[in-house]
Structure 1
Amino acid sequence: MASDDAAAVGVVGGWASPFVMRVCVALRLKGVAYEFLQEEPGKKSELLLASNPVHKQIPVLLHGGRPVCESLVILQYVDEAFSGARPPILPADPYDRAVHRFWAEYADAKLPMALRTLRGMIDGDKAAAAEQVAAALAQLEEAFTACSKGQRFFAGDDIGFLDIVLGSYVGWFRAAERITGQTVLDEMRMPRLAAWAARFCGHEAVRDVMPDAGRLVEFGEALRAALAANANAQRM
């Protein structure tokens, strides 16, 4: 991907993070080349701590040596900083932008903790977590009908802000399905959202950065084992 700013763009993150994936998809959608700076799982590099001293979390976008933090903020920054590159990530209409931002924040409020519970990354009631995910996706099925206006994606003919935000969870959906043996994106209950997810995963800006479900399951198992070993070592 060609870009005049290619040498100045970097992404600090981890391949398994849906929040990091968002940044990569946005840059790829804009045609911006970038360097991926992989963090070691369970650790925080000096670069990360220096770039995001407040939250000390991934992702961080580095552009011209300056850090931008928090995935939703980064998506909007990428849209504005590379405004000459098409297509736009956020809708042009102010009302549509507000609606897409609302549903993006809704997804981030309802899905991450419940999905982590389903995958066994944190302790919790798996049945309650499954119900929360199902209820959220049912709402987002209705939102897709309203936002897409009969087109292929939330943003219309091509992926945009809300597509990227919700689509970043699809790998986690699939990993949770493998672990629990239960369907998360049920084609019978939410046919439009299930069809959208398949289209999203096949998009050229997405398919090379969408994590494989089996690899996510293995990553989660390895991370849990490493955290348990570290906790045991600290108690000794």
Structure 2
Amino acid sequence: MDHHQAERPETEKEKEVTLHGVWSSPYVLKVIWALRLKGAEYDYVEEDLDSKSPRLLELNPVHGKVPVLVYHGKPVAESDVILEFIDDAWATTHRRILPEDPYERAMARLTARFQQDKLSPPIWRWFTTAGREQEDAREAAVEQLLVLERELGDGRRFFGGEEVGFADLSLGPLAYVIPIYEEITGARLVAEETLPSLAAWMGRFLASPVVRDHLPPMDDLRRRYQAVREAFLN
């Protein structure tokens, strides 16, 4: 009896779900959105990437990056991998994040990869440069954003259909990051005249219940990005 009582705290600990993250990370945020969408209970641990904790390095020894989700004592890293894990681990809770149809699942994963490989790089270059280099990056970014515009052009409310899904969560941080970039640079990237469906999606996404109550402090984020741009330009 005493032996079982001594072991119980460890057993309870293994059942806990813990997310290790950084408040300003869009990759961490989309994991939070997925957990909230599923109604999952979890603990959050804020990490300092300038002074990484031994626990973080233990959980993610290869990259030492966030997010890391610890589920039943087992760590899962990389945000899109975590999204799929959450969808499977809480398969019977709420609805699925990835589509049931195999083709639609593949397209959702492809959209997430498109965001990483094709879309984010020119947007980042546009934000961190000036003059001709910035204008060239803007043109390249808009060209990729038009791909998303066409994908939404069939009247869908979200990339996942009528509700927020995997592709929306992967693209979601753009909905608040792009307006901050636009404010800091004084230039538009997503204009309603040229990208009406995408602009409307950004508004709908930020207004969705799972997202609107779980956004980073925008004033703090704006100051952070302002400092980043100034560091690149100086």
Cα root mean square deviation, aligned: 2.6
User: Which residue in 1 is equivalent to 2:194?
Assistant: 189
Change (3 A) 1:109 1:60: same
> Residue 25 in 1 paired to residue 25 in 2?
no
Structure 2 partner of 1:142 = 150
Query: Within 2, Cα distance between the matches of 1:58 and 1:81?
Result: 20
Answer yes or no: is the 8 Å Cα contact 2:175–2:205 preserved in 1.
no
Residues 72 and 99 of structure 1: CA distance in aligned 2, closer, same or farther (over 3 Å): same
Report which stretch shifted further, 20-29 or 56-65: 56-65
Give the structure with the higher percent helix.
2
Kindly report which structure 2 residues correspond to 1:99-138, keeping only aligned pairs within 5 A, or say none. Answer: 99-120=107-128, 125-138=133-146
Contact conserved, 1:20 with 1:58, CA < 8 A, in 2?
A: yes
Local SS of the residue matching 1:85: coil
Structure 1 segments unaligned to the other structure (5+ residues): 228-236
Mapped pair 1:45 → 2:53: yes
- For the residue of structure 1 that corresponds to 2:212, the secondary structure is coil
Shift of 1:98: 0.7
3-state SS of 2:44 partner? strand
Question: Residue 167 of structure 1 corresponds to which residue in structure 2?
Answer: 172
Assess if the C-alpha contact under 8 Å between 1:153 and 1:159 holds in 2: yes
- The CA deviation at 1:44 is 2.1
> Does the CA contact (< 8 Å) of 1:115 and 1:176 recur in 2?
no
TM-score normalized by structure 1?
Answer: 0.83
- Kept after mapping to 2: 8 A contact 1:171/1:211: no
Matches within 5 A, 1:208-227: 208-221=213-226
Task: Kindly provide the amino acid, as one letter, of the partner of residue 82 in structure 2.
Answer: I
Offset, 1:87: 1.5
Cα 1:169/1:112, change in 2 over 3 Å = same
Larger Rg: 2
In the alignment, is the contact (CA less than 8 A) between 1:6 and 1:33 conserved in 2? no
- Give the share of equivalent positions with the same residue, in percent: 38
Distance in 2, Cα, partners of 1:130 & 1:225: 18
Structure 2 CA distance for aligned equivalents of residues 38 and 6 of structure 1: 20
Letter in 2 for 1:44: K
How far off its partner does 1:41 sit?
5.0
Task: Name segments (4+ residues, structure 1) moved above 6 Å.
Answer: 223-227
Count of paired positions: 219
Change (3 A) 1:159 1:49: same
Structure 1 residue 56, shift from structure 2 partner: 1.6
Does the C-alpha gap of structure 1 residues 226 and 173 become closer, same or farther in structure 2, counting only changes over 3 Å?
Answer: closer
- The alpha-carbon distance between structure 1 residues 53 and 103, as it changes in their structure 2 partners (threshold 3 A), is same
Cα distance change on mapping 1:16 and 1:199 into 2, 3 Å: same
CA drift at 1:113: 3.2
**TM-score of the superposition, structure 2-length normalised?**
0.84
Residue 184 (structure 2) aligns with: 179
Q: Tell me by how many angstroms 1:212 deviates.
A: 4.8
TM-superposed deviation, 1:38: 1.1
Q: Which amino acid aligns with 1:169?
A: L
